[in-house]
Amino acid sequence: MTAPAQVEQRVLQLRASIGLHVDAYHTHDAPLITDAEYDGLFRELQQLESDFPELSTEDSPTQRVGGAVLEGFEQAAHDQPMLSLKDAMIETEARSFVESVVNELGQDDDVELCAELKYDGMALSIRYIKGRLDRALTRGDGTTGENVTAQARTILNLPLTLPVPIDLEVRGEVVMLKRNFEIVNSRLRRLGQKTLANTRNGAAGSMRQLDPKVTATRRLSFFAYGAFELDGRPAFEASSQWDLIEGMRALGFSVAPETALVRGWNGVREFFESVGKGRVGLPMDIDGVVFKVNALDDQQRLGWNNRTPRFAIAYKYPAEEVESIIEAIVVQIGRTGAATPVAKIKPVRVGGVQVASASLHNQDNIDAKGICIGSTVIVRRAGDVVPEIVRTVLTPGDEALTCYVMPSVCSSCGTTLHRTPGTVELFCPGGIKCPAQKLAKLAHFSSRLGMNIDNLGEKTIQTLIEARLVNMPSDLYGLEEQSVRELPGFASVSAKNLIAGVSSSKAPELPRFIYSLGIEDVGEATSRSLAKHFGTWNSFRTASYEQLLATADVGDGTATNICQFFADPLLSAEADRLAEITQPQSYQQQNGIAMRGMTVVLTGVFPTLSRGQAKALIEQAGGKVSGSVSKKTSAIVAGDAAGSKLDTARELGIVIWDEAQLLAIAAN
């Protein structure tokens, strides 16, 4: 059936109207209609295209629902390298950049720069062939990225076709607007699913969903900041960065309205301060401002400093600080017995994350900051990650408050807390008899780096303890399906899964078993060093202080802790019982020699590997992982959101791998 002219006209009107509302919502943060009204327009267009299939086109808004689930992401090379910028963390660094540009170009102090928001999302490169979206790649290692074309097609404000049939590559950032972050998390909570940590992780994680239909539900946006023809020449015959911005706007790409031209250091400083003051009110999270020399000819003259441009810099804001009130203080008892005071604060959003608590560390820190229950405090996320209280703010009535004093007994078992000589921390000596320590020790034993027991989280452990089915880690291996099935929250399948998870943890690798014991100061790396040095459980178990001290990465404190652990009758008996039950494997030196003698640095977030897994992979292949980049670094493995380590590596000309390259090299 041929569509009547009025239906065809209505379809065109709906597409134009939806496009207008998408632009208002995603680019200008100024929706013209409610979500319900928008959904009504969208459903009407869907229905008309369903009734008259000949009216359905590839660039219709209805085509952004996602296709088939992918088996994995293919790797593809960028047509032009997709590199990052050098950061300026303080004013002197930003001013030095402007001065160096002025000196190099021989211009006066009011050199023109294009100022653009530094979005807190995920970089993406979009290629168009004859005006149609052909391919989308993540940054990857700058040379090779992941092909996320199917996911990119679901981004509401990303043009699927351009108004002119040109070949073009556009670069920009995928972000999740703040309001969409709340909408998506609200939906995930209703579904009983894990919520997103922040808008940055929300954007990156959504683009890495193998099922594009999931990506389509995440309400992502794309903001463009660069474009060039496929042979590398600037797009639109542009002579300036501003020309590129205007050219992308004309093609339908979203560009933050805050983008502006500034002159010289005064212009940079004023723009940076102005945006900083209004940062909280922006529709998306940002972590700085990017300043680029505007004239493209001048950019060419300045060139590149190894792999970072000398014509641009990312001037970053310090960690966001927010005011809140301490509503309560609780003392948490950790696995080793450490008593840590934690402030429960009135929930606030800091750096894109809802924060409701922050560690107070110890009594000395509390005294130094004058912290009381009821204090008004300044909160920030250290490194934009860990919540911390920076200082208190004096307010009327504070004179009636009393500075908080740590309790003298353990909040979990009532044992008197002790202070270790020479330290400021308090400890509970209750050990495994302390309920809080028991829970933490069992959780550590079953953790991913420990025995890696599936289906055994803290809630399940707590349930098992309360039912008196588990008191020590070895009790896990005596659990019976019938007893577990009768517990709250369990049924036949979940009980079977737990028993199977416990059973499958037997015959662990020796480093994993040593780590699982929770000996103080014996972390993942030290456990591996001990396993490598002693080879078998019995050799390690019977080692003397002097033999332990001869192990790489083991000093006096660690050797003493190991000896004290095995001198404790309860702990040593439990360790022997676990060894008998699980039969830890003798350590086998890995045959892989692909990375022998190499020093490798890890940075960023990897698609599939955790940081610990990547480290273990390198060590198994004979390499060593370092936390800092230097001339001695052999290679750097860079994931998404890689920071200054990647910039340093580029400046030093160090080899850069992505996760796929690491996996391939380690496998040889």
3-class DSSP assignment, residue 661: helix
Q: Are strands 655-657 and 635-638 parallel, antiparallel or unpaired?
A: parallel
Task: State the architecture of 599-666 in CATH terms.
Answer: 3-Layer(aba) Sandwich (3.40)
Q: Mean pLDDT of all residues in the chain?
A: 86
How high is the pLDDT of residue 325?
A: 92
Q: What is the mean pLDDT of residues 454-474?
A: 91
pLDDT band of 275, cuts 50, 70, 90: very high
SS3 content of the chain, % helix, strand, coil (to 5): 40, 20, 40
pLDDT band of 66, cuts 50, 70, 90: low
Q: What is the mean pLDDT of residues 354-368?
A: 88
Q: Tell me if 109 sits within 8 A of 159, measured CB to CB.
A: no
Residue 372 annotated as binding site:
no
pLDDT score of 480 more than 90: yes
Rounded distance, CA 470 to CA 472, Å? 6
Residue 587 annotated as binding site:
no
How high is the pLDDT of residue 67?
A: 54
Rounded distance, CA 546 to CA 538, Å? 16
Task: State the architecture of 321-419 in CATH terms.
Answer: Beta Barrel (2.40)
What is the secondary structure of 259-301 as a DSSP string? -EEEEHHHHHHHHHHHHHHTGGGSSS-EEEEEEEESBHHHHHH
pLDDT band of 591, cuts 50, 70, 90: very low
Q: Which stretches does DSSP call E strand in 182-334? A: 221-228, 260-263, 286-293, 304-305, 308-309, 312-316, 321-333
Residue 139 annotated as binding site:
yes
Choose between 608 and 404: higher pLDDT: 404
Choose between 467 and 16: higher pLDDT: 467
Q: What is the mean pLDDT of residues 430-454?
A: 89
Superfamily (CATH H level) for 510-582: 5' to 3' exonuclease, C-terminal subdomain (1.10.150.20)
pLDDT score of 29 more than 60: no
pLDDT score of 17 more than 70: yes
How high is the pLDDT of residue 397?
A: 83
pLDDT score of 1 more than 60: no
Give the domain 77-316 fold: D-amino Acid Aminotransferase; Chain A, domain 1 (3.30.470)
Tokens standing for 283?
Answer: 């529709």
Tens-digit pLDDT profile for residues 36-62: 677 678 778 878 887 888 877 777 777
For residue 144, give the H/E element and its range. Answer: strand 144-146
pLDDT score of 417 more than 90: yes
Choose the most confident range, by mean pLDDT, from 16-30, 112-126, 136-150, 396-410: 112-126
Answer yes or no: same fold for 510-582 and 599-666: no
Position 128: which residue type?
Y
The residues facing 393 across adjacent strands are 376
pLDDT score of 588 more than 90: no
For residue 345, give the H/E element and its range. Answer: strand 338-350
Cα–chain-centroid distance for residue 493? Answer: 33
Q: What is the mean pLDDT of residues 617-635?
A: 80
How high is the pLDDT of residue 485?
A: 92
Q: What is the mean pLDDT of residues 512-540?
A: 90
How high is the pLDDT of residue 593?
A: 58
Q: Tell me if 95 sits within 8 A of 111, measured CB to CB.
A: no
Residue 84 annotated as binding site:
yes
Q: Select from 3.40.640.10, 3.40.630.40, 1.10.150.20, 3.40.1350.10 the CATH code of 431-503.
A: 1.10.150.20
Q: What is the mean pLDDT of residues 600-626?
A: 80
Q: What is the mean pLDDT of residues 435-455?
A: 89
How high is the pLDDT of residue 30?
A: 66
How high is the pLDDT of residue 37?
A: 76
Query: Residue for token digits 């404190």?
Result: 557
Side-chain-side CA neighbours of 184 within 13 Å: the count stands at 24
Backbone angles phi, psi at 628, to 5 degrees: -135, 155
pLDDT score of 269 more than 80: yes
Q: Worst-scoring range by mean pLDDT, 56-60, 177-181, 365-369?
A: 56-60
Residue 360 annotated as binding site:
no
Rounded distance, CA 139 to CA 77, Å? 10
Residue 367 annotated as binding site:
no
pLDDT score of 299 more than 60: yes
Going by C-alpha positions, the residue among 250, 82, 295, 243 that lies closest to residue 169 is 82
pTM: 0.55
Residue 200 annotated as binding site:
no
Reading across the β-sheet that carries 635-638, which strands appear in turn? Answer: 624-626, 599-603, 635-638, 655-657
| For the chain, domain boundaries | 5-63, 77-316, 321-419, 431-503, 510-582, 599-666
How high is the pLDDT of residue 354?
A: 79
Q: Which stretches does DSSP call E strand in 130-187? A: 132-138, 144-146, 168-175
Tens-digit pLDDT profile for residues 194-244: 778 778 888 988 998 888 889 999 999 999 999 999 888 889 999 999 999
- Residue percentage of the chain with pLDDT more than 90: 44
Please, which residues have CB within 8 angstroms of residue 161's CB and are 6 or more apart in sequence? 58, 59, 131, 132, 133
Region of 438 (left: φ > 0; alpha: ψ -120 to 50; beta: rest) is alpha
3-class DSSP assignment, residue 325: strand
pLDDT band of 70, cuts 50, 70, 90: low
Cα–chain-centroid distance for residue 72? Answer: 20
Q: Worst-scoring range by mean pLDDT, 65-74, 212-221, 380-389, 468-477?
A: 65-74
Residue 434 annotated as binding site:
yes
The DSSP output letter for 430 is: T
Q: What is the mean pLDDT of residues 594-613?
A: 78
- Residue percentage of the chain with pLDDT more than 70: 93
Going by C-alpha positions, the residue among 450, 397, 103, 484 that lies closest to residue 265 is 103
How high is the pLDDT of residue 102?
A: 92
Choose between 142 and 180: higher pLDDT: 180
How high is the pLDDT of residue 225?
A: 96
Greatest pairwise CA separation for the chain in angstroms: 91
pLDDT band of 71, cuts 50, 70, 90: low
How high is the pLDDT of residue 590?
A: 45
pLDDT score of 667 more than 70: no
Residue 36 annotated as binding site:
yes
Please, what CATH class does the domain formed by 5-63 belong to? mainly alpha
How high is the pLDDT of residue 68?
A: 57
The DSSP output letter for 478 is: G
Q: Tell me if 584 sits within 8 A of 612, measured CB to CB.
A: no
Position 253: which residue type?
F
The residues facing 332 across adjacent strands are 340
Rounded distance, CA 548 to CA 563, Å? 9
> What are the catalytic residues?
118
Rounded distance, CA 26 to CA 38, Å? 13
Choose between 598 and 593: higher pLDDT: 598
Residue 413 annotated as binding site:
yes
Tens-digit pLDDT profile for residues 375-407: 999 888 754 456 888 889 888 888 888 899 999
Choose between 549 and 351: higher pLDDT: 549
Q: How many Å from the N-terminal Cα to the C-terminal Cα in the chain? A: 60
Residue 38 annotated as binding site:
yes
How high is the pLDDT of residue 331?
A: 93
Residue 91 annotated as binding site:
no
Choose between 453 and 420: higher pLDDT: 453
Choose between 59 and 496: higher pLDDT: 496
Backbone angles phi, psi at 518, to 5 degrees: 70, 30
Q: Worst-scoring range by mean pLDDT, 85-89, 154-158, 246-250?
A: 85-89
CA triplet 479, 483, 487: central angle to 5 degrees?
Answer: 115
